[in-house]
């Protein structure tokens, strides 16, 4: 029974729930916004329902992916296969449909409560993307990586649609703060997308043997390990440059705690990843790299703990200004 529970990836679901909670706690529902009469659109109960809805859809996505991946997983990770060993395929399909329907139903309920029923379509879109990814998109070159990265990032981006107070007119001060809040959510959405994209490419390198036998056209299969490592290295280098730009902002704002956090939690692990990429060659090497990337993702999202009550909004608005995107 305990083994069967792993089909919904409880650790991953916990990370999703924690990330959504931190985004609300640090960005969309903070005292600074309350003083400007900018309230989150969701009540605490409705926000809890949004988390449950997101988790149900994500869990359904994990299940349907495992259903279609049974044969490949028997080669790539035989010790982790659940369907057919600990859970029948029939029961897995029942769980998938039940979780997906619950997620969509809750999504429409919340959207109706906000008098924005069309937002419920976002949950339908996520269910559809995850199903088509598992059914056939996963085997296509690069598109599968993009879909997974998009779906991961959307667990943050969904707060832009459901929780940001974009209903009433705002004065100039409120608009400035609102744009900062919006910028912070966009920034963390990008981070989740980018790190997931890198990790999915690394996982494809780890799973080359089984993927190749079942007709998957992943980046490592199409271009080889050497070029795959160069691609991940380039994507990682872009992130490192972004981290360095944040260091400039932290120095300018004399935010030395943020400076230390970015160096310790993001720059040093990313440099270590860059170094380990050079010599990675075996399945175990790429599994190790995947775990490093997962840690970097968790470290990056945990920075929300230190950017409470408007700090994230201020930093990210300044960051986009530094890039030349004048949002005001």
Closest by Cα among 217, 64, 85 to 129: 64
Is 194 contained in some domain?
yes
Is 261 contained in some domain?
yes
Is the pLDDT assigned to residue 214 strictly greater than 70?
A: no
Is 91 contained in some domain?
yes
Tokens of 215: 């007709």
Is the pLDDT assigned to residue 1 strictly greater than 60?
A: no
Is 165 contained in some domain?
yes
Rounded Cα distance between 328 and 26, Å, is: 22
* Cα first-last separation, the chain: 54
Is 183 contained in some domain?
yes
Question: To the nearest whole percent, how much of the chain has pLDDT over 70?
Answer: 96
User: What average pLDDT does the chain have?
Assistant: 91
Closest by Cα among 181, 178, 154 to 167: 178
Residue 230: which domain range?
2-322
pTM over the 0.85 mark: yes
Total domains, the chain: 1
**pLDDT value, residue 71:** 73
**pLDDT value, residue 207:** 86
3-state secondary structure of 288: helix
**pLDDT value, residue 140:** 87
Of 25-29, 36-40, 170-174, 321-325, the least confident? 321-325
Question: To the nearest whole percent, how much of the chain has pLDDT over 90?
Answer: 66
Is 181 contained in some domain?
yes
Question: What's the whole-number mean pLDDT along residues 292-315?
Answer: 91
CA atoms within 13 Å, Cβ hemisphere of 302: 12
Is 327 contained in some domain?
no
Is 328 contained in some domain?
no
């Amino acid at each position: 029974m305990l083994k069967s529970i792993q089909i919904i990836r409880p650790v991953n679901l916990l990370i999703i729930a924690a990330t959504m909670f931190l985004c609300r706690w640090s960005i969309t529902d903070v005292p600074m916004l309350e003083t400007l009469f900018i309230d989150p659109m969701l009540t605490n109960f409705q926000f809890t329902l949004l988390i449950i809805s997101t988790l149900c859809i994500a869990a359904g996505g994990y299940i349907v992916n495992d259903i279609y991946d049974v044969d490949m997983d028997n080669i790539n990770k035989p010790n982790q296969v659940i369907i057919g060993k600990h859970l029948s395929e029939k029961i897995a399909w029942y769980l998938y449909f039940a979780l997906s329907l619950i997620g969509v139903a809750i999504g429409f309920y919340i959207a109706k409560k906000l008098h924005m029923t069309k937002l419920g379509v976002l949950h339908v879109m996520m269910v559809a993307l995850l199903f088509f990814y598992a059914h056939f998109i996963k085997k296509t070159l690069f598109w599968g990586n993009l879909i997974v990265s998009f779906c991961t990032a959307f667990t943050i981006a969904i707060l832009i649609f459901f929780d940001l107070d974009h209903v009433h007119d705002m004065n100039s001060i409120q608009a400035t703060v609102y744009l900062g809040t919006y910028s912070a959510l966009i920034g963390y959405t990008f981070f989740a997308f980018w790190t997931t994209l890198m990790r999915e490419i690394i996982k494809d390198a780890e799973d080359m043997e089984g993927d190749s036998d079942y007709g998957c056209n992943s980046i490592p299969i199409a271009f080889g390990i050497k070029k795959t490592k160069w691609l991940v290295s380039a994507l990682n280098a872009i992130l490192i440059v972004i981290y360095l730009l944040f260091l400039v902002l932290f120095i300018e704002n004399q935010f030395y705690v943020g400076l230390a956090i970015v160096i310790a939690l993001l720059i040093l692990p990313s440099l270590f990843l860059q170094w380990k990429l050079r010599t990675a060659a075996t399945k175990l090497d790429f599994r190790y790299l995947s775990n490093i990337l997962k840690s970097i993702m968790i470290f990056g999202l945990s920075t929300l703990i230190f950017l409470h009550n408007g700090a994230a909004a201020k930093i990210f608005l300044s960051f986009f200004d530094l890039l030349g995107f004048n949002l005001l």
